[in-house]
């Protein structure tokens, strides 16, 4: 029995921040490092949003707001869900928090007891299992491989559900794989969930607007309206509007749950920032026209990165349909040896090798629950991405294969 709780002992520092911190330490030593670990857009927040926040401050919107969002913002979120997702909700179904991450934290803190299970398809965003574990639950991670296009199949979902299952987490487009579920796939998952009435769904749609196919976006509560009473649809302005630092996330869900989330928030952060909310209101009401040009740039970078990585022997990179990450599998590099004699035994060793030898920082797949792989963020300039891929290719060429002479 020490000073620190067992709860905090179950939390690990975020792996993505750790990889970035090591890269920055090398940068500080004067090394030329390209950082591809970033989980945020490299674009600036659009000017009309900044102006709206400035006006809000000048007009006195500098005080606490109602606990889980201003009435104006909640209404704008209802309108957004109706307009873009076909979801009918009223302000009493809406919660607004300090980032989508706080909503995930609020949800699992409010609903997960010791022994409860949360099904999380892997690869997954690093924070889900940690938050579940912190709340005393057990993360049941299900490997969804490149052959499954990194998506949960109905069979795997069925096999993962037990009496203790409380939640299924769906994240489409997915961080880190970029996988996007189609309407048909969500329908099939819904058919399984219909048979298990005790299972709720957290649909993390935060990358909704970052997609590179012409398919219409589908979210599970819309595809399966009869399940909506046990679905939370989570979104935010961080990724779509380049507003990660504004810290505003929001969700729609059943009123009884939304009320409990508000109680927890009232005793933790009191309310999200009034200024952030004014900015989010401008984002959700100001039109999305600028996104087409951003997406064109992301798509162009994606095409370059995936082609360049696929040209490297030992790497296999699926082309992501959404988000701004590529997730190449690197099993073909394992067992090979660096010039210094280090054997690349797992994806952490591969990421370390790229950092040391190529000066390129990526995040090893181990933190995302599906190895051996690594995550490359393409939310950075094309010039840097071209340089980074060329450096990785060169570093891979310098590796001694596992069995010299076998090739």
205 lies in the binding site for ligand PLP (CB under 6 A): no
359 lies in the binding site for ligand PLP (CB under 6 A): no
Distance, CA of 20 to CA of 7 (rounded, Å): 25
What are the tokens at 77? 């979120």
To ligand PLP, the closest distance from the beta carbon of 180 in angstroms equals 13
171 lies in the binding site for ligand PLP (CB under 6 A): yes
For residue 251, give the nearest of 397, 69, 380, 125 by alpha carbon. Answer: 69
Decide whether 105 or 353 has the Cβ nearer to ligand PLP: 105
Q: What is the dihedral of CA 338, 342, 345, 351, to 10 degrees?
A: -60
Decide whether 101 or 302 has the Cβ nearer to ligand PLP: 101
Decide whether 272 or 372 has the Cβ nearer to ligand PLP: 272
Beta carbons of 203 and 219 less than 8 angstroms apart: yes
Which residues inside 81-110 make contact with ligand PLP, applying CB under 6 A?
99-101
180 lies in the binding site for ligand PLP (CB under 6 A): no
Q: Which residue has the tokens 């009232």?
A: 266
To ligand PLP, the closest distance from the beta carbon of 157 in angstroms equals 19
Interface residue with ligand PLP, options 34, 139, 206, 399 (CB under 6 A): 206
For residue 375, give the nearest of 305, 321, 298 by alpha carbon. Answer: 305
121 lies in the binding site for ligand PLP (CB under 6 A): no
219 lies in the binding site for ligand PLP (CB under 6 A): no
Beta carbons of 83 and 208 less than 8 angstroms apart: no
123 lies in the binding site for ligand PLP (CB under 6 A): no
Number of residues that bind ligand PLP (CB under 6 A): 13
Q: What angle do CA 168, 172, 178 make, to 5 degrees?
A: 125
371 lies in the binding site for ligand PLP (CB under 6 A): no
How far, CA to CA in Å, does 309 sit from each of 306, 368, 374?
Answer: 5, 19, 11
State which residue has the least CB distance to ligand PLP: 99
To ligand PLP, the closest distance from the beta carbon of 242 in angstroms equals 11
How many residues are there in the chain?
407
Beta carbons of 117 and 137 less than 8 angstroms apart: yes
Which residues 6+ apart lie within 8 Å of 2 measured at CB? none
Decide whether 209 or 357 has the Cβ nearer to ligand PLP: 209
Partnered with residue 232 across adjacent β-strands are: 202
Which residues 6+ apart lie within 8 Å of 187 measured at CB? 223, 224
Beta carbons of 47 and 166 less than 8 angstroms apart: no
Q: Which residue has the tokens 């995302």?
A: 368
Beta carbons of 52 and 278 less than 8 angstroms apart: yes
Decide whether 236 or 369 has the Cβ nearer to ligand PLP: 236
x/- mask, ligand PLP, residues 240-269, rule CB under 6 A, reads ----x----x--------------------
x/- mask, ligand PLP, residues 226-245, rule CB under 6 A, reads ----------x-x-----x-
277 lies in the binding site for ligand PLP (CB under 6 A): no
Strands 165-171 and 374-377: unpaired
344 lies in the binding site for ligand PLP (CB under 6 A): no
378 lies in the binding site for ligand PLP (CB under 6 A): no
x/- mask, ligand PLP, residues 17-46, rule CB under 6 A, reads ----------------------x-------
Q: What angle do CA 191, 197, 198 make, to 5 degrees?
A: 130
To ligand PLP, the closest distance from the beta carbon of 100 in angstroms equals 3
Interface residue with ligand PLP, options 141, 175, 265, 380 (CB under 6 A): 175
130 lies in the binding site for ligand PLP (CB under 6 A): no
The CA-to-CA distance between both ends of the chain, in Å, stands at 56
Q: Which residues bind ligand PLP (CB under 6 A)?
A: 39, 99-101, 125, 171, 175, 204, 206, 236, 238, 244, 249
């Amino acid at each position: 029995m020490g000073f620190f709780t067992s709860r905090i002992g179950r939390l690990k520092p975020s792996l993505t921040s750790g990889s970035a911190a090591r890269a920055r330490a090398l940068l500080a030593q004067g090394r030329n490092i390209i950082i591809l670990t970033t989980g945020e857009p490299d674009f600036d927040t659009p000017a009309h949003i900044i102006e709206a926040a400035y006006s809000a401050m000048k007009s006195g919107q500098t005080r606490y707001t109602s606990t889980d969002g201003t009435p104006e913002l909640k209404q704008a979120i209802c309108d957004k869900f109706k307009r873009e997702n076909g979801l009918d909700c009223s302000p009493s179904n809406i919660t607004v928090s300090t980032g989508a991450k706080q909503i995930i934290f609020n949800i699992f803190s409010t609903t997960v007891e010791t022994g409860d299970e949360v099904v999380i398809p892997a690869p997954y965003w690093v924070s889900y299992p940690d938050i579940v574990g912190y709340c005393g639950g057990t993360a049941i991670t299900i490997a969804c491989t490149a052959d499954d296009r990194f998506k949960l199949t109905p069979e795997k979902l069925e096999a993962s559900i037990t009496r203790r299952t409380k939640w299924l987490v769906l994240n489409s487009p997915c961080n880190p794989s970029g996988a996007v579920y189609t309407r048909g796939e969500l329908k099939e998952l819904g058919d399984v969930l219909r048979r298990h009435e005790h299972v709720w769904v957290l649909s993390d749609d935060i990358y909704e607007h970052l997609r590179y196919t012409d398919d219409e976006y589908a979210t599970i509560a819309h595809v399966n309206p009869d399940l909506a009473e046990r679905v939370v649809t989570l979104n935010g302005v961080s990724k779509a509007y380049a507003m990660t630092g504004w810290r505003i996330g929001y969700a729609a869900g059943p009123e009884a749950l939304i009320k409990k989330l508000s109680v927890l928030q009232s005793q933790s952060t009191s309310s999200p920032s009034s200024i952030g909310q004014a900015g989010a209101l401008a984002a959700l009401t100001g039109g999305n026209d600028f996104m087409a040009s951003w997406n064109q740039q992301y798509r162009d970078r994606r095409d370059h990165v995936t082609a360049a990585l696929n040209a490297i022997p030992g790497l296999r990179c699926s082309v992501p349909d959404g988000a701004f990450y590529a997730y190449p599998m690197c099993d073909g590099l394992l067992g090979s040896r660096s010039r210094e004699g280090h054997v690349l035994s797992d994806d952490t060793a591969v990421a370390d090798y790229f950092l040391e030898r190529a000066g390129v920082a990526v995040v090893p797949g181990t933190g995302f629950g599906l190895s051996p792989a690594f995550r490359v963020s393409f939310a950075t300039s094309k010039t840097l991405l071209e340089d980074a891929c060329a450096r990785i290719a060169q570093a891979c060429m310098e590796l001694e294969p596992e069995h010299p002479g076998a090739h």
